[in-house]
Structure 1
Amino acid sequence: MDALAPLRANVAAEADRPLLTYYDDATGERTELSAGELGRWAARTVGLLRSGCGLGAGDRAAVLLPPHWQTAAVLLGAWSVGVTVSFRPTATAGLPVLEPGADEPLDVTFIAHDRLDNWLEDVPEAHHQFVLGLPPTFGIPAGYRDYLAEVRRYPADLPTYALVRPTDPASVDGTTYRQWGSLAHAIAERLDLRPGDRVLVDAAEYEHPLKWLLAPLAAGASVVLCANLDRGAVASRTAAEQVTRIL
């Protein structure tokens, strides 16, 4: 299974349609990505991992990031080159918690700058380390590179071929791409997500990427992802973003 297949389907159907709109109500940020734009960020991440880090199928990544548009680019890029992923969602609701699970260093780690202080002693050692979400005046921590600065160096063209097989592991616990795809479709059905839906997601309530990213993509829906959600803004945002479903 091509990890970018759902994204390719959205690009082919309507490349300029908003696919992922990100809000942070604590900072006022609003970033809107079309299917084509998210595909280009994922493609740049593919280049960073393959050409920049020399990684491919079977290599291991820790993705210590909250729900965010950049997290979507990292996950889609990593899965597109066959890199297995671990992460630590705080609320899993029965879904797998994917810990690194090995003593040897990982191949690559992606971590949000505001998680470094809390998790510094816990961050798994990795050969390549990237930090995301650096404020303009915040220095790059020793041993890390700025993801955004690095990823922009790589081409923005989606690979035209699949780099993974359905039976390849997508996560460090051995869950395959086929199994992750089946989970995404099952969650989309349970949430009654349908093609063309515009889904407002509270990032604090749906931290697992199966729910905020993969299930909507599998259903052909688009996402309005809200961090630090201001409940008082939900009604106006629903109208402004033409939201059809609220999770």
Structure 2
Amino acid sequence: MTIHDALTRHARQLGHSPAVVFRDADTGERTELSWATLHNWASKGANLLLDHFDAGLGAHVMLDMPAHWMAPVLCLATWATGATVVVGGAADVHVVHEADHPEDGDLVVGVGMGGRPMSPVPADALTVVDVLGQPDDFVDDPGDEGAWAIGGRTQATLLAEGLDGGRILHAADRVDEAMVFLVARTLPAGTALVIARGYDEAGLKRVATEEKVA
């Protein structure tokens, strides 16, 4: 079984219940993705990575961006194609955030609603709008559970390390290996993930209560 297989199963079983919740203390943003929506976004992202960047088995996709709800989407999309997620070093696809350095990105996540850019991006860069234009189903899953996923772990290894639970809260300002590992160990196991950016300790306690994190 691959990570995409597991996500597909949970999307069918859990449907419209929450899978990913993103909270931003600075902007007040709260974005929620159901299991069905997460699977749809991941499938669209996988189609874009494969069709536009040829990012399949052996490729590396770098997430160089603040913590954001697109991070788990792009992790899952990358693993669907059999590619590896990295957070530093060389990569075949460089994902950046509009607020950072969009001129360096192959794929730009914007600051607007739905991750859309609010200002012009480089002419040769793609954006979340291009992700939305992809087919809803990803049919080119290589089915390789031995594909490298992150940090020297294969998809099979991370699936075996899955965390059972209702919801897990993760506080982070930027995407790092810890977040990527948590994505791999929660969502494919059917455990929802709440990502909180910019909160102090009191704020995190409030988020945990509001989002019903055990």
The equivalent of 1:10 in structure 2 is 10
Secondary structure class of the residue paired with 1:114: coil
The equivalent of 2:155 in structure 1 is 177
Matched, 1:156 2:125: no
The equivalent of 2:202 in structure 1 is 232
Cα deviation for residue 174 of structure 1 reads: 5.2
Secondary structure class of the residue paired with 1:232: helix
The equivalent of 2:146 in structure 1 is 167
| Residue number among 109, 126, 129 corresponding to 2:106 in the alignment | 129
1:107-153 Cα distance to aligned partner (Å, 9 max, x none): 32111223328xx7xx6xxxx811112455422145423x2111111
1:215-239 Cα distance to aligned partner (Å, 9 max, x none): 2224432122111114333444333
With normalisation by structure 1, the TM-score equals 0.72
Q: Compared with structure 1, are the counterparts of its residues 209 and 202 closer, same or farther at alpha carbon in structure 2 (3 Å cutoff)?
A: closer
Quick check: 1:21–1:33 contact (8 Å CA) kept in 2?
yes
The equivalent of 1:91 in structure 2 is none
**Higher alpha-carbon Rg:** 1
Distance 2:48 2:61 in 1: 13
Secondary structure class of the residue paired with 1:75: helix
| Amino acid across the alignment from 1:130 | L
Structure 1 gap segments, 5+ residues each: 89-98, 101-105, 189-193
Q: Compared with structure 1, are the counterparts of its residues 242 and 109 closer, same or farther at alpha carbon in structure 2 (3 Å cutoff)?
A: same
Cα deviation for residue 2 of structure 1 reads: 1.4
The equivalent of 2:95 in structure 1 is 110
The equivalent of 1:61 in structure 2 is 61
1:32-56 Cα distance to aligned partner (Å, 9 max, x none): 0000001010011111122233332
User: Alignment RMSD, CA only?
Assistant: 2.7
Spell out the pairing of 1:42-121 with structure 2 (5 A cutoff).
Answer: 42-88=42-88, 99-100=89-90, 106-116=91-101
Quick check: 1:20–1:224 contact (8 Å CA) kept in 2?
yes
Q: Compared with structure 1, are the counterparts of its residues 109 and 210 closer, same or farther at alpha carbon in structure 2 (3 Å cutoff)?
A: closer
The equivalent of 1:221 in structure 2 is 191
Secondary structure class of the residue paired with 1:4: helix
Distance 1:66 1:214 in 2: 18
Q: How many residues align?
A: 209
